[in-house]
Chain A
Amino acid sequence: MSSALATTAVLDRVPPSLRARVLGLGSVFGKAFRDSRRTAIGLGVVFALVMLVTASQVATQFATIEERVQVAVQLQALPAIFQGMLGEPIHIELMGGFLSWRVLNFLPVMLGIWSIVALSGTLAGELGRGSMDMLASAPVSRARLAVQKLAGYLAALGVTTLILVLGLVAAFAAFSVLPGDSVGLGAIAAHAVWIYLTILVPGAVAFALAPITGRNGALGVGAIVLFGSFVINGFASSVSVFETLRPLSYFGLTAEHRPLADRYDWGSVGALAVITAALLALGVLAFARRDLLQPSSGRLRLPSIGLWLREPFTRAFGERLPSAIVWGLGLGLFGLVIATSADQFVASMGAIPQVTQMIKQIFPGQDILSTGGFLQLAFFSEAIIVVGLAAGGFVGGWASDEADRRLELILGAPVSRARWALRSATAVMGAIAVMTAVMAVGVVIGAATQVGNALNLLPGMAVLGLYGMALAGIGLAVGGLIRPSLAAPVTIILGLAFYLIDLIGSILDLPDFIVDLALNRHLGRPILGSYDDVGIVVSVALAVGGVILCAVGVRRRDIGR
């Protein structure tokens, strides 16, 4: 009887097409790839355009070999701390070397965030959503399910890398104006292998941990691995602790593999590939063997007090508070390490008269060779990215009230839409304030070992927090006026875009109206006590105005978009 039933079902079935299996809803792989394809193509196109624009600017701004050599010498003469955290400049007088150093060395950080978000949620996201039980009841083994979902992301990342490769090919074809600028397809491909792997590494860490810690824990550890590795490698020459830790950084490990600058180190790339593969295999095994339950770890627990249940502000604030403390601790630790290393920096810079002279020319009237100066250069300018990501995370949490349909229940109580929006959005700002305060404690403790009155640094920390609030304000306004699902992406993308514009805008002589779009360029050097008043007023207006616009939007539009 059973076999007769089964035979009937088999005879009538219409199997999915090959196209559906690869690109659509015909398989777990197909759906995973389908879900990521827009992001993959979008990111690939954006960064391919960045490569084209950068290459065109290099070709026009530095059109002769003399100009190239001059700028290369100037950049190489700068201590690493003034070069950004981009590692050793290798053959930057050539197009390949310049693109590799100025843009491609930072690309794995930008896209690494995507990798962490995607791979931490590949399986944990299904569990969190509640779709895993139905998916896992299909006749697909758990290991195969995990491998297919993973392969979907790997293919999507492959598409992004491929588009980037095409952008590079086009950039070299169109803008190689000097001898040595041309780079062969082999070198581009070899460089792309490194890019692909370094984007994947933090995501692989998150993927391995997600079945055990849940998505939040995996996101956090992945982010620490990404930013930790980048910072350690970038500041290794300035901070002795980082120099010691450099072999642990995957950016440090593969620093000698820069095929676009004609330098190869396949051994390190191979080692990284093996580590990454092992992490991914670990994630698959962990998923296949464990019970399909939501892990309860991975989130800081708050004491259960009535305050969190009192009204929308305290509820939303209580929801965001654990993440705010964790983000603050991470930033505070970074600040602490930087601040306690300030004396080494000051001593090493002060020992070279030419460097001292150059610094005085670049930063007239400002005491860069000090703890504050070091913090401004090494901490403030980099913490900006993390603050933007944190703001995006808080705004995403705010949006989830509506996306997960909790808001409908809340608004079923006698709470007006505007009141909920104002209070819950204010709670986002409150979370950023807490994060800033926790971060400031770390920085001040570190600085106290170097200077008498470390509290002077606090206004600078406050400006950093204000920047995060301004970004959050924009995200909240978009979420309130248009739809909540846009709120977090807008916040995060703006934060990264501002950083990128600031990073490459001036050196490529991009038009002022583009470079000035970056809000982080308008904050002054607040840790040194130098403020850009207009920028700060604009930031306050964005933060406050964002909350108000959010309330206006939520009051007017349909709920549950």
Chain B
Amino acid sequence: MTAIIQAEKLTKSYGPFRGIVDVDLEVNQGEIFGFLGPNGAGKTTTIRILLDLIRPTSGRARVFGIDAADDPVQIHRRLGYLPGEWNLYDRLTGMETITYFANLRGGVDRKYVEELVQRLDLDPSRRFREYSKGNKQKVGLICALQHRPELLILDEPTSGLDPLVQQTFNELLFEGRAAGRTVFLSSHIISEVERTCDRVAIIREGRIVRLDTVEGVRSLAAHEVELRFAEPVAAAPFAAIEGVTHVTEEGRTLRMLVTGPIAPVVRLAGQYDLVDFVSREPSLEEVFLAEYETVPATPSTPSAR
């Protein structure tokens, strides 16, 4: 599997402010990689280093095997980028804006641009300053997608888009993946990442705290298990099982959180008169929130952004 993005011990400080700390990442060709974290966690800082818009304090970032600081032009030639916070030229129309960014890449396939305009339902004849937030976002997406880049780096891409356009956007991502393109998608909208991404990294206070497939991240998290018995059963034996926490007793029902293998719980429950067994897999959102409800991983440093 070819690594498209590689970050090794990537660290960035803004004077006394923390940006990111020892970020290690590897994004492979043909995957949609989610980068999750709340505001100020370091998502945008990581992305801006990958694009050589800012330089790391230490560590290395490579895209397409090229060091980001060595030959950013070569990297930019092959990627499409939509920043999280941006604005463009008020006096240009949507189409002029798209054309300008196409020209900076030496031109693009105009038929594909027309197709994107149509699919995202954009009126390209209006001036940029007259667009709503969602329409501006569509212009940005088309600028990022129009040259069919090998790698798409998208920072909060669906901000301001209505659900119908979001669906079209997801289709575009899946089509890109099917064609072997890679997507690095930063977001704090967990459902979006869960729906679209193959793998996900969770960044917290500048550090990567989880990195796995979406399924993997979920499976590592606690399952919510509910056991209903014919008669009341003592909670203590269940609480003694490794990986079982938060056991509560309510009449003939026991509820608990199970992290890791569930078989010991099933075996013990089988020794009683078990009426019903419900195990619910946690959503990515629950995993994410659980990650952020725990104590801080490192001494707190003020974040820069």
- In whole Å, how far is B175's beta carbon from the nearest beta carbon of chain A? 13
Which residues 332-348 of A sit at the B interface, judged by CB distance below 8 A?
A: none
Answer whether A291 and B54 are a contact pair too, CB < 8 Å, given A25-B103, A31-B100, A140-B73: yes
- A303 at the binding interface (Cβ < 8 Å): no
- In whole Å, how far is A401's beta carbon from the nearest beta carbon of chain B? 15
A209 to B121, CA, bound (A): 43
Residue of A nearest to B15 (CB): A296
A129 to B85, CA, bound (A): 10
Check if B87 sits within 8 Å of A136, measured CB to CB.
no
Contact of B106 among A2, A15, A28, A142 (CB under 8 A): A15
A136 to B79, CA, bound (A): 12
- A453 at the binding interface (Cβ < 8 Å): no
Stretch at the interface among B143-151, B207-215, B286-294: B143-151
- B303 at the binding interface (Cβ < 8 Å): no
Check if B107 sits within 8 Å of A5, measured CB to CB.
no
Residues of A close to B179: CB separation below 8 A: 5
Which residues 1-51 of B sit at the A interface, judged by CB distance below 8 A?
A: 2, 14, 29-30, 48, 51
Residues of B close to A21: CB separation below 8 A: 103
Residues of A close to B106: CB separation below 8 A: 13, 15-16, 139
Stretch at the interface among B108-116, B159-167, B187-195, B254-262: B108-116
- In whole Å, how far is B203's beta carbon from the nearest beta carbon of chain A? 19
Answer whether A137 and B109 are a contact pair too, CB < 8 Å, given A9-B148, A25-B99: no
Answer whether A139 and B85 are a contact pair too, CB < 8 Å, given A1-B180, A6-B150, A133-B48: no
Residues of A close to B2: CB separation below 8 A: 1-2
- A292 at the binding interface (Cβ < 8 Å): yes
Which residues 107-143 of A sit at the B interface, judged by CB distance below 8 A?
A: 129-131, 133-142
Check if A131 sits within 8 Å of B53, measured CB to CB.
no
Check if B76 sits within 8 Å of A25, measured CB to CB.
no
Check if A292 sits within 8 Å of B103, measured CB to CB.
no
- B83 at the binding interface (Cβ < 8 Å): yes
Residues of B close to A9: CB separation below 8 A: 108-109, 147-149
- B169 at the binding interface (Cβ < 8 Å): no
- B96 at the binding interface (Cβ < 8 Å): yes
- A178 at the binding interface (Cβ < 8 Å): no
Residues of B close to A134: CB separation below 8 A: 81-83, 86, 88, 101, 140, 143
- B181 at the binding interface (Cβ < 8 Å): yes
Which residues 1-60 of A sit at the B interface, judged by CB distance below 8 A?
A: 1-2, 4-6, 8-9, 12-16, 20-21, 25-28, 31
- In whole Å, how far is A288's beta carbon from the nearest beta carbon of chain B? 11
Number of A interface residues in the complex (CB < 8 A): 35
Check if B77 sits within 8 Å of A20, measured CB to CB.
no
Check if A139 sits within 8 Å of B103, measured CB to CB.
no
Answer whether A5 and B83 are a contact pair too, CB < 8 Å, given A140-B104, A291-B54: no
Residues of A close to B96: CB separation below 8 A: 25
A245 to B186, CA, bound (A): 56
Check if A133 sits within 8 Å of B72, measured CB to CB.
no
Check if A13 sits within 8 Å of B147, measured CB to CB.
yes
Check if B53 sits within 8 Å of A137, measured CB to CB.
yes
A141 to B53, CA, bound (A): 11
Residues of A close to B99: CB separation below 8 A: 25
Residues of B close to A541: CB separation below 8 A: none
Answer whether A130 and B85 are a contact pair too, CB < 8 Å, given A5-B179, A14-B110: yes
A130 to B87, CA, bound (A): 5
Contact of A137 among B79, B92, B100, B180 (CB under 8 A): B79
A130 to B73, CA, bound (A): 20
Residues of A close to B180: CB separation below 8 A: 1-2, 4-5
Contact of A28 among B89, B102, B104, B108 (CB under 8 A): B104
Check if A26 sits within 8 Å of B103, measured CB to CB.
yes
Residue of A nearest to B179 (CB): A5
Task: Write out, one digit per residue, whether chain A residues 130-159 have a CB within 8 A of any chain B CB (1) or not (0).
Answer: 110111111111100000000000000000
Residue of B nearest to A485 (CB): B90
- A224 at the binding interface (Cβ < 8 Å): no
- A78 at the binding interface (Cβ < 8 Å): no
A131 to B64, CA, bound (A): 25
Residue of A nearest to B149 (CB): A9
A27 to B106, CA, bound (A): 9
- A275 at the binding interface (Cβ < 8 Å): no
A129 to B97, CA, bound (A): 15
Answer whether A137 and B108 are a contact pair too, CB < 8 Å, given A5-B179, A293-B54: no
- In whole Å, how far is A487's beta carbon from the nearest beta carbon of chain B? 16
Contact of A20 among B103, B110, B147 (CB under 8 A): B103
Residues of A close to B87: CB separation below 8 A: 129-131
A9 to B179, CA, bound (A): 12
Contact of A139 among B53, B76, B181 (CB under 8 A): B76
Check if B53 sits within 8 Å of A136, measured CB to CB.
yes
Residues of B close to A131: CB separation below 8 A: 86-89
Check if A27 sits within 8 Å of B53, measured CB to CB.
no
Contact of B48 among A5, A25, A292 (CB under 8 A): A292
- B177 at the binding interface (Cβ < 8 Å): no
Contact of B53 among A16, A28, A140, A292 (CB under 8 A): A292
A293 to B74, CA, bound (A): 22
- In whole Å, how far is B275's beta carbon from the nearest beta carbon of chain A? 53
Residues of B close to A14: CB separation below 8 A: 107-110
Residues of A close to B150: CB separation below 8 A: 2, 5-6
- B78 at the binding interface (Cβ < 8 Å): yes
Check if A8 sits within 8 Å of B148, measured CB to CB.
yes
B29, B104, B150, B181 interface centre (most CB from chain A within 10 Å): B104
Answer whether A291 and B100 are a contact pair too, CB < 8 Å, given A2-B29, A5-B150, A131-B87: no
Residue of A nearest to B55 (CB): A291
Residues of A close to B29: CB separation below 8 A: 1-2
- B105 at the binding interface (Cβ < 8 Å): yes
Residues of A close to B72: CB separation below 8 A: 141-142
Residues of B close to A137: CB separation below 8 A: 51, 53, 76, 79, 81, 83
Residues of A close to B140: CB separation below 8 A: 134
Residue of A nearest to B305 (CB): A293
Check if A12 sits within 8 Å of B104, measured CB to CB.
no
A6, A135, A138, A291 interface centre (most CB from chain B within 10 Å): A138
Answer whether A138 and B53 are a contact pair too, CB < 8 Å, given A12-B112, A131-B89: no
Contact of B107 among A1, A16, A291 (CB under 8 A): A16
- In whole Å, how far is B232's beta carbon from the nearest beta carbon of chain A? 58
A293 to B45, CA, bound (A): 11
A340 to B80, CA, bound (A): 61
Residues of B close to A292: CB separation below 8 A: 48, 53-54
Residue of B nearest to A128 (CB): B87
Residue numbers of A with Cβ under 8 A of B are 1-2, 4-6, 8-9, 12-16, 20-21, 25-28, 31, 129-131, 133-142, 291-293
Would you mind naming 8 contact pairs between A and B with Cβ atoms under 8 Å apart?
Answer: A4-B180, A5-B148, A12-B108, A130-B85, A131-B89, A133-B53, A139-B106, A292-B53
9 interchain residue pairs of minimum CB distance = A12-B109, A130-B87, A139-B77, A15-B107, A138-B104, A291-B54, A137-B81, A16-B103, A13-B107
Beyond A131-B88, A139-B105, list 7 extra A-B contacts (CB 8 Å): A1-B2, A8-B148, A16-B106, A134-B83, A139-B76, A292-B48, A292-B53
